[in-house]
Structure 1
Amino acid sequence: MIAKKDLPICPVATTVSLIGNKWKLLILRDILTGAKRFGELRKSLEGISQKVLTDSLREMESDGLLIRTVFPEVPPRVEYSLSELGETMRPILSAMESFGKDYKELAEKE
């Protein structure tokens, strides 16, 4: 979690600091449908590097948005899922999806 003293004053800025980059939003989009493994995320996020995906997942886990579950198997299996806090992002992403659909329809009419 971001330390209280490091949080922006503005609540919108706080949200942007948590999910305000392209990759984090797309990671959330993919995990909204259920737990995903690293490889699944990497395949669905065309253009993301392994380092950026790893760093984004670590940050989102640290911020309390994701849960990383390691299964004691050989080879080890790791899955990422939304935490309870991450689930609260669902309406935000739904609103973004609705806006995007509406915008695309408007653009197609022009």
Structure 2
Amino acid sequence: MPRVKKTSVCPYGATGVGGKWMFWSMYHLLSGAKRFSELHRLMPQAGRQTLVTQLRELERAGAVRRTVSAHIPPRVWYSLTRLGWDSEPILRELKGWGEWFGDRVGPDVDWLVSLGGRWKVWIVHGLFDGAKRFGELRRLLAPISKQVLARELRELGNLGLVRRLPRQPGAPQGAYELTETGSESEPMFRRLYAWGRWTSAKTGVRFDWPVSTPPEHLRHTFTAHGELPVRP
């Protein structure tokens, strides 16, 4: 049984947009079962123990299956479960979005790391319905502190996803809005939200996002096995 725990964006318990090596492990397993050594060769920057730990987390969550062969010495294979395969559309969409975003911000930016932590994705999501002042964002994302919110907004600004509105008559002072890049990323973030709700319900994980999304964006999410309803 998967462990019941809180989620910080990723329903599998990682931080950021899925946890860097969790995401890449699942993505690489889309091409078929692999031994640990194969996965490590595909992700040479991952420490062996870190990769082992994240694969175990995916196994506990029910997204990855670990199979030990009868060979001597025994061989260990990793493959996606049905739950893991149901995540195929969002995995591929995140990969495609990451390449598109990389073209915007430069190849040196690791988008999984840059959007890591619990707040950045929530801030972007909170700005989908329009500009908000600093105080509004803080109330929406309570219990975020002033210092953390200011830092996250600054880093999102450096990534080109969020900008601060200039002072002008009739405009709210100290307000933030999505840039063109941020607005163009909305469909992906909406589906990430829908996938998170669906996966959390499947794995018994508490879905603790402090933001909500309109019902029309929760009608469905597409999986490798068809259309699955996601209910608010």
**TM bracket, shorter-chain basis:** 0.7 to 0.9
What is the letter of the counterpart of residue 66 of structure 2?
R
Q: Who is 2:88 aligned against?
A: 90
Structure with larger Rg: 2
**TM-score if structure 1 supplies the norm length?**
0.80
Does residue 2 of structure 1 match 2:15? no
Cα distance between partner residues in 2 of 1:92 and 1:22: 14
How do 1:1-110 and structure 2 match up within 5 A? 1-3=2-4, 6-8=5-7, 13=9, 15=11, 17=13, 20-106=18-104
**8 Å CA contact 1:23, 1:56 repeated in 2:** yes
Q: In the superposition, relative to structure 1, how do residues 99 and 35 fare at CA in structure 2: closer, same or farther (>3 Å)?
A: same
Gaps of 5+ in 1: none
Secondary structure of the 2:72 match is coil
Q: State the 4+ residue runs in structure 1 displaced beyond 3 angstroms.
A: 104-108
Query: Could you tell me the percent identity over the aligned residues?
Result: 32
Q: In the superposition, relative to structure 1, how do residues 14 and 77 fare at CA in structure 2: closer, same or farther (>3 Å)?
A: same
RMSD of aligned C-alpha atoms? 2.1
**8 Å CA contact 1:7, 1:14 repeated in 2:** no
* Matched pairs, number: 103
Cα distance between partner residues in 1 of 2:104 and 2:38: 33
Cα distance between partner residues in 1 of 2:75 and 2:13: 29
Secondary structure of the 1:95 match is helix
Q: In the superposition, relative to structure 1, how do residues 16 and 58 fare at CA in structure 2: closer, same or farther (>3 Å)?
A: closer
Query: How big is each residue's C-alpha offset from its partner over 1:21-67, in whole Å with a ceiling of 9 and x where there is no partner?
Result: 11111111111110000100111112111111111111110110001
What is the letter of the counterpart of residue 2 of structure 1?
R
**TM-score if structure 2 supplies the norm length?**
0.40
Q: Who is 2:171 aligned against?
A: none
The structure with more helix, counted as a fraction of residues: 1
Gaps of 5+ in 2: 107-232
Cα distance between partner residues in 1 of 2:101 and 2:45: 24
